[in-house]
Structure 1
Amino acid sequence: WQSDGEDFEAFRVYKGRREGEAIFRCYKAYRKHLQKYIDWLNETELSQNDERLFPMMSRGMIPAKISRANISTLKNLLKKHDLPFINTSQLRNTRINWLLRKTSDLNLTAEQMGHTKEVLLRDYLRPHHQRASSEIIEFHNLIDPTTLAPGPGLCVDSHQPEPIVELAENAPKPDCISPEGCLFCEKHRDVMSSEYCWKLASHLQLKRLETNLYKPSEHNHIHPGNLVIDRIKLKLKAISDGSEIRNTWVEDAQSSIRSGRYHPTWDGYIRLLEVMV
């Protein structure tokens, strides 16, 4: 036994298909079991008739050195008991793909498995749905330009506000600071989710309470909050008209507001205004 870091090198042998030397390793945790088995082979003198690790013997104890392995008996036994037969190539394939997923290192996996990268990719690599899902998510995260906006929803170009066409004079101006300003920005994007509808509906309730406290002056009879209310209503209606499930989101959000359950973003502000009103 020759130590090689965490493993033991059992022996080296030339492999024609690889056209080079291959090293057969044994995990340290396996050594005592493998050594016990080798000692048993020596004690029973089975190793004298056949030098292979798993010697094949005929009924007459004549060594079958040139015989091919025949595992039909094992297959029939497993089939009789409705058990799947998993051969060594399947186990090796599983181990290679598991190691590649764990390390994400093609060079390391090829070295450990005694193959070139080309052979590994051509003959052993198998698709894996979890890895594929994570790669798809990573891809979208890299190319998705949206960022969190100060207000509800997302922003596709942070710190580059652009007012919507025909912006009302008293409407909040987009400035990447005010949550209300985001609602009147061309860079703002809605999010198709029940949580977003709840957040919009809570924002709507906040602005209603604000306008109830407003006392109009002689020069300004329209509170900017009324424009925000109209804008949020317009967004909720557009979402509701989109599909049946989206309509359910809006209805559930409105029901939550009526029952006094507000989105955490606006809950504290709403509770304070309710006391003042």
Structure 2
Amino acid sequence: MNDQFEFHQIPYTAREVPLTLQPLLWEGGAACDMRIFWKKVVDNKLGAMHESRVTLIRTIYNLLSDIVVAGGSRETLKTGVNHVRSFYKCADLYRMHPTAETALVVYCKWVKDLYERRKIDNTNGSEAGIYGAASFMASLLGEATELGRDTFVVTSGLQPPRKSSAALGAKVDRQNFSQTKKFAEVLIDIINSISNNRCLGALPLKITFRSGLSVEHYAAAKRNASVPAAGSNILLDTSPSIRYPVFNIRIEAEMLLFMSQTSMNLSEASKLKLQDFRFKEEGAFTQVYAYKGRKKGEVIFTIFKEYKPFFLNYLAFRRLINSEANSSLLFGRFPQPGNPVSRNPNPRSLIMFLKRMGVPHRPASEFRKTRQNWLARKSGNPEMASEMAQHDLETYARNYAKPHHQTAATEFAGFYARLAENRKAALGGGCVEVNPIPIASTPLEINIPDCINPALCLFCVNYKGQITYDYIWALLTFGRLKMYEDLCHRKGQAGGITENSIVKRVREIAKQFSEVNAKCSGWYLKADGKVRAGEYHPRWAGFFDIIDAVLI
């Protein structure tokens, strides 16, 4: 039978069942064993195919196919397919048919079910595993529906797994820095062993580590049962077809060392072009520009001043081995003869070499975390550290910041002293007191404002707004959200707070904001126009999709 959603981009053995999304077109198909799926279809045990599912499944299929085309491994594809099947199992459980319009509702139910099942059975996936699956599907569905990943994450309440409190210990902190330092030394030993002077010398090349471990590398030279004679021609062959394995090991070692200095991620570093670089000293750092004719180009990355000699030496290595003839990329690797260059940016040659040597490999992300946490602690300025790492402060805090025992002790000491001055309010803005106090115009149904519920936070005298455009846009979006909710719940419960009271309070605060000065008035008019046009603040935008689904 015709399978329009089978993944043909990867090879299969004779005994393997090809990966496909075809079963998802049938209710109950996601949970069906592929070995008996088609028999069930022929026997009509799964009922009729649901045409409403075709469009979304085709989009998901194309996105997963793109992962393979971009160099993703078969394991990555297999994991992605399993996550999609899990999502559709949940849809089948609730007798729902995911489309671009209903995917968000199904996703929220799926995430909730994942965590509920884990509460019942602790063996049913780790917290990190559940987050990984849900995060993957949020990105996939966000692109497939054009709602964006954040809509799915925010609406479902998905939170990253909690970091272990053990990271606060001084011993753990020292171990992290020690292990990172040791691996950096391993990379430098490899670079020095496959040096500019030795890389084109007679094979074998001797790679020596400061730990005393050493190995002779024959690159791709064919070896007989005995060690080849030192004078044989193939051991003197300097062509990439023979030397590509050792060239690639050094290139990948250089790439990881480069990433540790720039905080670039693997995808960014692997796409950098080999070009005419210019340098400008800025204190303890060096800014690297792309030179374009007589014009000074933009800053591409920033490195520690001490790393500059390593980088210049690497550029000389690339010229020596004539890498431009093979690739225009700064860290472009050499292919095995007869095969195209892999699009997978992972340093697989280096990883396999270290594995054979019994040397532990540490991912580049550990370098980046170590560098940025060191910068943040050294300067006392996380904003500067995140800016140097080329991403925003929120990304730094979510993905890179690690607790430090000494910093934590200092920060906790001053925390309670500052708590009474200002703290973040539930809705956004600030709060100047710990205990909530209702305003004089608080509706009768509200006794004490709630510091957790954003709506009730507005009815407290301690609530303080912010003089920013983002604040008024978020506030007006929240007011519009409450108006929409009122459409869904016209018959409010007796004694409960009504959405009309909240909307009235939002308008009151918004009016006060618009009267502060001319700039605030302009911000108010701009934000009000956006909200009326349906362009909502990201913090609340995802909830409108749920309401639309309910109203439909």
Q: How would you bin the TM-score normalised by the shorter chain? A: 0.3 to 0.5
TM-score, normalised via structure 2 length: 0.23
Larger radius of gyration: 1
